[in-house]
Amino acid sequence: MATQYVFFSGKGGVGKTSMACTQAVRFADEGKKTLIVTTDPASNLEDVFEHVIGHHITKIQSVTNLWAMEIDPDKSTQEYINKAMQPIRAAFPPQIVRVMEEQMSGPCTAEVAAFDRFTDFLEAPTVDETVFDVIIFDTAPTGHTIRLLELPAEWSQSIDAASAGSGQTCLGPAAAIQEAKHKYERALAAMRDVKQTVFVFVLHPEAISIKESLRAITELSKLGISNYRLIINNIIPPEAAKNDLFAARAEMQAIYLKQIATDLPYPSQKMTMLSGEIKGMERLRQVAKIFFDGNSAFKTFEAEKVEPQASMMSTPQKDILAKILPNGHRRTLFFAGKGGVGKTIASCITAVWLARQGYKTLLLTTDPAAHLGDVLDTPVGDEIAPVPGQSQLWAVKIDPKAAAETYRDRILEDARQRGRSESSIATMEEELNSPCTEEMAAFDKFIEYASQDEWQAVVFDTAPTGHTLRLLELPVDWSKQLDVKIFASVDTSAADDVAKQRFEKVIEMMRDPEQSTFSFVMYPEATPMMEAWRAARELGTVGINAGLVVANMVIPTEQANTDFTFTRRTMQEKYLNEISTLFHLPMVQIPLLPQEIKGLKMLAELGDQIYSPN
C-alpha cells in the first residue's frame, strides 16, 4: 500500500503541532510506521515530544514505530547547493564555481532548498530499510505553507523559461536543476491525490482563524488540492464555562461554530480546551483518548501540578514607556513571535495608543496572512492610508505579489534609463520573473517605509518568528550576494549599490535601541516562550537585541475562581515569572477578554489599560 500523507495546517497558534503529534503517536500505537516532519523554521516538535530531534530522521525512543525530523533551513540550503553544484564543479574552473556558489548563497535559495528537502519526503523515504506507512507534515503557518506549495508550479515555469532563454535562474544554471523540476511536479501530483493525501486544517472558533482557513483552502484549491478535514480546537468545556469570562467566550464560540458548519462544509472533529499544556508522551496519549476515543477531558487529562507563585514579577510603567515612546527622534517598534500568539493585536493596541498620544504613527504588516484590517475593523490596503476614526494613524499591508510587480518594473525601468542593452534587460527580466522576487520585493517595500522620515512612530506587525528572522537577516545576506554580483556583472552594480546603502541604513536603525524596539509576543506557556527565546538569541547574532516582551491572553487574577481557571492561571503565573527571569526585559501583559479584540474603541481601552494605568 502507498505511503499516506497527512498535512496539518492553519493559522499560527491554533494547536497544529499538538494535534499533529497526537495523531502521530496514535498512528504509531496502532502499529503504523509513522514519520512526522516539520517544515516550520520555528519548530516545536522537540518541545512537545520532549525529545532531541534536529535535521535528520530521529527515532522517538519512547514510542514504537515513531520517527521525527525538523527541517533546518540553513542545513537544507547547504545540502541543496552541494547537490546542484556537483556537476558544475566538474565542468568549470574554480573561480567560476566560487562565483556561482556565492550567487546561490542568498535567501532565495533557502526557500527553495527547504521545499526541496520537504519534497524528498513525498518520494517514499526510508530509514534503516524502514518504509513508512504514514508521513505527517506539521507545517508552518498558512501563508508561508501556501507559498511553499506554489513553488513546484512556479519553479517549473521559471526553469522552462530560463532553459529557452539564457539558461540561468537565480538558483544557477537551469540544466543543473532540471531534476528538481521533475521532483516538484511529482510532489504536487502526490498532494493532489485524494487517495494518498489529506490536508487537516486546525482552527479555533474565532473570526480570524475561520477567515485564514477559508483563504488557505481557496488558494490550495487553485493548485488542484481538494481533500480537506477540519479540527476545531480549543472548545471551552462545561467545567470552564462556570466562570463568567469563559462563559462569555463559550457563547462567542457557539456563534462561530455555526459559521464553520456553513462556510467550511468538510468532515470535522472538535477538541476541547485543556486545563494545562500538552507536552510529553503521557499527555499526548491522554489527548488521543479524548480526541479519538471520546473520553472525558475532565477525567482523562492530568495537567502538570504547579505550586502557586509566592510573588509576581511586575514591570515599572516608566520602563515600558521608555521602550515605546519616541524619545526625540522616531521610534520603530517590531512585534515578533510564534504564529498566532497575538502580534497583530499587540501592534494594533500600541499603534492606536501612540496615535492617541499625538504621535504621527504608521502601522504596517509584512505577514503574508495579514490581519491588520480584521483587528482594526477597517480595510487596510497596499498603499498607505489614514485609519478612519483615529487621527494621527495610518496603515498599510505589504502584499508580496503586488510588491513584486512594482519592484520588477522599477528595476527594469532603472536599467533602461541607464542605457543597458536589450540583451541585459532580457536577462534581468528572466531573473526577476523567478518566485524569489516576491520575497526580495516585500523586503524592498519594507525598506522603503522604514526609510521614510515623516513618521514619529512606525509599528511593524511582523510575520511569525522563523520567517521574520530570515526577513531581518536578508539585507545582511543580500549585501554579501550583491558584492559578488558587482564583481560578476557590471550591468547590475549601480542599482545594487543604491539598494545596499538603503539596506545598511535600515540595519543600523534596527540595531540602535534608542531608535528601535523589538518586542516578542507570547502566551505564558512553555512552547511560545522557548520559541521567542530562541528567536531573540538568533536576532542577537545579527546585532539586534530584544527590548520588550508581551504576554498575551493572561487570565485576570479575579477570574481564577474555578478549578479549571485556577489551574490555568497558576500555570500562567509560573511562566510569567520564567519569562521575566529568562529575558530580563520590561513586560507588557494583555488580558484574556470575554470576546475577540476588534475595533478602535476596544483597542483604545486596552492601550489605556496597558500603557496609561491610573
C-alpha cell read off for 257: 461554530
pLDDT tops 60 at residue 141 = no
pLDDT in tens, 367-386: 666 688 889 989 898 889 99
User: What per-residue confidence (pLDDT) applies to 103?
Assistant: 62
Element at 58 (helix H, strand E) = strand 58-59
pTM, two decimals, is 0.81
pLDDT in tens, 281-325: 999 999 999 999 989 888 888 877 777 766 666 788 899 999 999
CA-closest candidate to residue 10, choices 140, 145, 201, 139: 201
Give Cα 411 to chain centroid, integer Å.
Answer: 29
CA-closest candidate to residue 177, choices 252, 241, 119: 119
Higher pLDDT, 332 or 508: 332
Indicate the residue type of 288. A
User: What per-residue confidence (pLDDT) applies to 152?
Assistant: 58
User: Around 367, how many Cα atoms within 13 Å sit in the side-chain half-sphere?
Assistant: 32
pLDDT tops 80 at residue 593 = yes
pLDDT tops 60 at residue 24 = yes
Range with top average pLDDT, 150-154, 207-211, 361-365 = 361-365
pLDDT tops 90 at residue 66 = yes
User: What per-residue confidence (pLDDT) applies to 491?
Assistant: 43
pLDDT in tens, 564-592: 889 899 999 999 999 999 999 999 999 99
- The answer to whether 568 and 234 are in contact (CB under 8 A) is no
Secondary structure of residue 336 in the 3-state scheme: strand
Of 2-16, 120-134, 384-398, 574-588, give the lowest mean pLDDT range: 120-134
Residue 339 CA to residue 337 CA, distance in Å, equals 6
Q: What are φ and ψ of residue 460, in 5° steps?
A: -105, 120
pLDDT tops 60 at residue 475 = no
What domains can be seen in the chain, in order of their start residue? 4-294 (3.40.50.300), 317-401+452-473+506-611 (3.40.50.300)
